[in-house]
Structure 1
Amino acid sequence: MSSVKRYYDIDWLRAIIVLSLIPFHATIIFNQNPGAIMYVKDTMQVNSLMFLCGIMDRFHMVTLFLIAGMAIYFSLLKRSMKIFIKERFIKLFVPLLTGSLLLNPITTYIWCMNQGRKESFFNHYIGFFTRGPGSFDGLSGGYTPAHLWFILYLFVFSLLGLPIFKWLMKAKSENVLDKLAAFCFKPGRLLLFAIPYCLLYLIEILDEKNPIAYFYVVLIGFVFATREEYLKAICRDKWFYLTLSIILYIIFFNGEPSDGASMIVMYLFGFVVKLAKIIPSFAIIGLFHEYINKNSKALVYLSGACFTIYIVHMIIVTSVGFWIIQYGINPILKYFIIVIISYILSFGAYEIVKRNRLLGLLFGAK
């Protein structure tokens, strides 16, 4: 077994992004855009919350997949292929199955109630697995992985990508990886990794959840973990990536082409929109690596809690949101009440789960 350096900044980043999903999904409750999927919606739209949602939506999933790619490399350094596959089944597939069987049908049932549909939970539960899945968003009552699509993708990527990952770790790949790291260490050259990511969205599969694009992100994260030069380059150029991210955000929020714009303009804007998802990830990783790279008791606790909280937070935010939006109070106040109660219940769920071995296995608690 190899000795692997622990990157506490990556642990902090993973925990913070997962915890930020609670306020993120709560913002969508107040977003009337039908393309913004959430399983309960208020009747009011709050533009300030839409703006916050737009900022968070740009980077958090790309960053999680980058981190996941790094974690795959570190895991394979210490484990045989057989043990790696076994752990992926236990840590990813079992919680995915738990969420699909026990949590997501309740979440989509709340959506049906929020829409005024009259259907018993039993009929809805049966229909969840027998109706056509449609676009896999669950809004028709059919099957959806819901927020667990990240775990589904990561499980599939881990298995299908294993031959590529193992090839990259072989001795005959060392020379290629050394030359690539040396080339990319020069300022700004990591931007070249962002171009294929943007172009992969020209292959239209599941819109923003394009699995080919996200597998590419996992592969980038894996490559970044193979050599310290990548993290050093990201850390060195973090302010450049942050500045570029701000510019991309300004274009994203203010530069949407009109309906009569040419196809070239539309494609260029789409390219910018995708850059605004991956470049901020570079900036965030660099900032965390520089300034938040220490272990602590809080990190140990959050690292153990964040995966379970990821699994249970959606049904909690949805349930709390369904209850709170019925009150005739200020929507901003509603938002903060939903977020606070959801945090309390999510951490409470983790405290219950981690004390039972079976529940810990089902919900991915350490």
Structure 2
Amino acid sequence: MDNLRCMTVGLVLVYHVFFLYNHIGLPGAMGDTGGGRLFDVFLYVVYPWCMFVLFLIAGMCARYSLKKRSSREFLKERATKLLIPSTIGLFVYHWIGGYLNIKIGGGADSIPAALLYPISALSGTGPLWFIQMLFLFSVLVVLLRSVDRNDRLWRWCGKCSFPVLLFLVVPIWGAAQIGNLPVLIMYRFGIYASAFLIGYLIFSHERIQALLERFHLPLLAASILLAALYTLCYFGENYLFSLQDFFTNAYLWSATLAILGCGRAFLNRKVSSYLSQASFGLYILHYPVVLSVCYALIRFFRLPPLANYAGALILEFSISFALWELFRRIPVVRSLVLGMRRK
């Protein structure tokens, strides 16, 4: 699970470069990079399942964490790691991303100087919506744990057969229809809550993971086929609103099952605690970095399209990693931005 989580976080960092350089007209685009729309294929392939997989893995990890901690200890740890960086951290570091969004959008000059900093901070949430929702879902499973003290629901969910796992696409599609905010479209409480609960109740079972490993090759083939069909179907359109479509959920679910099955088959090796911590830190820190890098490359340099993408990726990873190494050594910043406690 740690290997899959690290790799998925890496995909998020890559995704944001392609997103900021998109040719579809999605919000936040930096302008024409000179490249063709072929670069946008990556966005269509990754978007439906990437954050769903992260929430599902987070649900599994929540289950494993609650085996070793009381509910109070679990929530205290989650508040430190998730709630503080996504609230107070906005005013310490992420206001930079908010300011860049305002400036790139041409609105910086219309905001009074006294209000620019607080507005930038409140606008700097960026990818931190993920950890904000993660904290809410963590509270949800603690409430579930208090109601189901004997873990009857968890044990019952562990009896799922493979056809039942495939059928879960229907309730996932149903969950995708509810809890979607109209403007802040990244806050999709229904579908992402279903991912977290499925991870917590079902995929945290060793038996279920072994079942996915058994069928990992057919699942991989199905997900590749659906990825091609999904891209052909939606290419050129705004895919951000496609998560409520049944076909999108079918692709999302097949890709999720394939990723977990293949992860169990090929990535079932221990990952260092340093790499696991670093991946979380990179997720927290990368968005102001990628905004700055993509804007600077497109604004001040005339590079070939491939050089824009490659340069942005290299600079994004290297600068974010350097900031992670710096911030985790500064006591107050370490707590407020990264949610790290001094051991």
TM tier, smaller:
0.7 to 0.9
State the partner residue of 2:125.
145
- State which of 294, 312, 319 in structure 1 corresponds to 2:285: 312
Number of aligned residues = 330
State the partner residue of 1:196.
171
State the partner residue of 1:282.
257
Identity %: 25
- State which of 202, 205, 224 in structure 2 corresponds to 1:227: 205
Q: CA shift at 1:177, angstroms?
A: 4.2
**Contact 1:23/1:339 (<8 A) preserved:** yes
2:31 paired with 1:42: yes
**Tell me, which stretches of 5 or more residues in structure 1 are unaligned?**
1-9, 130-141, 260-265
Q: Partners of 1:143 and 1:151 in 2: how far apart?
A: 16
- One-letter code aligned to 1:124: L
**Contact 1:105/1:124 (<8 A) preserved:** no
Alignment of 1:148-297 (within 5 A): 148-168=128-148, 170-171=149-150, 173-174=151-152, 177-182=154-159, 184-185=160-161, 187-203=162-178, 205-206=180-181, 207=185, 209-256=187-234, 270-296=245-271
Q: CA shift at 1:23, angstroms?
A: 1.4
TM-score relative to the length of structure 1 = 0.82
2:52 paired with 1:62: yes
Q: CA shift at 1:197, angstroms?
A: 0.9
- One-letter code aligned to 1:157: F
**Contact 2:157/2:201 (<8 A) preserved:** no
2:92 paired with 1:102: yes
2:320 paired with 1:328: no
TM-score relative to the length of structure 2 = 0.87
Q: Partners of 2:98 and 2:243 in 1: how far apart?
A: 36
Q: CA shift at 1:300, angstroms?
A: 2.8
1:85-139 per-residue CA deviation (whole Å, 9 max, x = no partner) reads 111111111111243223333213212322334527653223347xxxxxxxxxx
- One-letter code aligned to 1:93: L
| Most deviating of 112-121 and 209-218 | 112-121
The 3 A distance-change label for structure 1 pair 292 and 163 is same
- State which of 319, 331, 336 in structure 2 corresponds to 1:345: 319
- State which of 103, 116, 123 in structure 1 corresponds to 2:115: 123
Q: CA shift at 1:213, angstroms?
A: 1.6
- One-letter code aligned to 1:123: L
The 3 A distance-change label for structure 1 pair 87 and 237 is same
**Contact 2:17/2:309 (<8 A) preserved:** yes
SS at the partner of 1:31? coil
- One-letter code aligned to 1:252: Y
- State which of 61, 71, 76 in structure 2 corresponds to 1:81: 71
- State which of 90, 101, 104 in structure 1 corresponds to 2:80: 90
**Contact 2:173/2:244 (<8 A) preserved:** no
| Most deviating of 118-127 and 72-81 | 118-127
SS at the partner of 1:96? coil
Q: CA shift at 1:191, angstroms?
A: 1.1
Q: CA shift at 1:37, angstroms?
A: 4.1
Q: Partners of 2:261 and 2:81 in 1: how far apart?
A: 28
**Contact 1:88/1:158 (<8 A) preserved:** yes
State the partner residue of 2:42.
52
**Tell me, which stretches of 5 or more residues in structure 2 are unaligned?**
none
Q: Partners of 2:231 and 2:147 in 1: how far apart?
A: 41
CA RMSD of superposed structures (Å): 2.7
The 3 A distance-change label for structure 1 pair 19 and 273 is same
1:214-260 per-residue CA deviation (whole Å, 9 max, x = no partner) reads 11111000012553211111111212221221222122112359x9x
Q: Partners of 1:267 and 1:144 in 2: how far apart?
A: 25
The 3 A distance-change label for structure 1 pair 81 and 229 is same
SS at the partner of 1:255? helix
**Contact 1:15/1:303 (<8 A) preserved:** yes
